[in-house]
Amino acid sequence: MKEVVQSVDRALSILEALSDQEQGLGLSEISKQINLHKSTVHRLLGTLMFRGYVEQDSETNRYRLTMKLFELGNKKIEKLDVLTLAKPYLRELADKTNEVVHLVIREGTEIIYIDKVEGDYTLRMHSRIGRRSPLYCTAVGKVMLAYLEEKERKALWEASSKQAYTPFTIIQYDKMQEELKKVKKKGYAIDDQENEIGVRCIGAPIFDYKGNVYAALSISGPAIRMTPERIEVFSTYLLEYSLKISKELGYSKEL
C-alpha cells in the first residue's frame, strides 16, 4: 500500500462529509462525523476555504462545499474523447451481432459518421467515416431529434432540405412527430429502408454527463437479415452498449 499523507487524507474526509449535506455542517458536527479534534478540523477547514473548496455561512457558521470540485470534475469530463472511449464497445457490439456498427455525432441538420466497425457479414452501404447524412432519414438522426426540445426540433426540421430518398422516407413533420414519440418511448429508433433500399438500421442515443444526447450508436444490416425478431434482440444489445458509453462520458440515469 502506498504511503498515505495524513493531512491530505483528513482534508478529503471533510470534503466527503460535506458532500452529503446541502445545508452544510457545523464544526462540531464535522469533528464528530470524521472523528477528529475540533482544532484539527478548524485548521483544515481554513486551508480548504483559502483554496476555494469550502465556504462558511456568515449567519449559521455552517460549512459547505463550493462549486470548485464540480468545476474540476467538469474539466476532466469535457476532455473525454467519445471516439476513443467508444471504440472497444463498437468492436464488441459488431462481434456480438456480426453486423455493421456506427458511431455518429450531429452537426446542424446532419449526422457525421465518426467510426464504423464491421462484423463478419458483409454489407454494401453508402456509409463511411466522415460521410454526412440527414437527421430525418437515419435511425441515429431520428433518435437525436427525439430527445431535443420541440422548438429546436422544429427549427432543425425546417432548416433541412427534405427529400424522399426511398418510398419509405418520412418527409411530413406530423408523421415524424408521431415516429419520434415511439422512439422516445422505446429508447431507440429504426430506419426501415428510409435512407437506402434494402438496409435497415437501429439507433440509440449516447448521453453526456449533463444528460444531453452527445452522439448515437447504430447497428445496420440488410433488410433480409434485420427481421423484426432480430431487431428486437439487437435493440437490447444496442441499448446496453449505448448506456455503457454514456456512463464513460459521466452520464447517470438518475439525472
Show me where the domains of the chain are located. Answer: 6-75, 80-248
Fold of 80-248: Beta-Lactamase (3.30.450)
Task: Count, in order, helices (H) and strands (E) of the chain.
Answer: 9, 8
Amino acid at 181: K
pLDDT at 127: 63
DSSP run (H or E) holding 32: helix 27-34
Give me 140's grid cell. 441515429
Q: Is residue 18 a contact partner of residue 57, using CB atoms and an 8 Å limit? A: no
**24-28, 78-82, 89-93, 186-190: segment of lowest average pLDDT:** 78-82
Give me 182's grid cell. 415511439
CB count in 10 Å sphere of residue 23: 8
Q: Is the pLDDT of residue 233 over 60?
A: yes
CB count in 10 Å sphere of residue 49: 14
Mean pLDDT, residues 208-228 taken together: 93
Give me 59's grid cell. 449567519
| Residue 57 C-alpha from the chain's centroid | 36
pTM, two decimal places:
0.68
CB count in 10 Å sphere of residue 198: 14
Q: Is the pLDDT of residue 197 over 50?
A: yes
Query: DSSP letters of 151-165?
Result: HHHHHHHHHS----S
Q: Quote the CA–CA distance of 236 and 66 in Å, as a whole number.
A: 40
- Does 177 or 121 have the greater pLDDT score? 177
Q: Quote the CA–CA distance of 225 and 193 in Å, as a whole number.
A: 13
Q: Is the pLDDT of residue 180 over 70?
A: yes
SS3 134: strand
Q: Is the pLDDT of residue 255 over 60?
A: no
Closest to 138 measured CA to CA, from 239, 216, 230, 233: 216
Please report which confidence band the pLDDT of residue 1 belongs to, taking 50, 70 and 90 as the band edges: very low
What percent of the chain has a predicted confidence (pLDDT) above 90? 70
Give me 136's grid cell. 430525418
pLDDT at 242: 96
Q: Is the pLDDT of residue 83 over 90?
A: no
Q: What is the pLDDT of residues 137-172, one digit of tens each?
A: 999 999 999 999 999 999 999 998 899 999 999 999
pLDDT at 19: 87
CATH number of 6-75: 1.10.10.10
Please report which confidence band the pLDDT of residue 88 belongs to, taking 50, 70 and 90 as the band edges: very high
Q: What is the pLDDT of residues 34-47, one digit of tens each?
A: 999 999 999 999 99
Q: Quote the CA–CA distance of 200 and 204 in Å, as a whole number.
A: 14
Facing residues of 113 across strands? 104
| Residue 116 C-alpha from the chain's centroid | 19
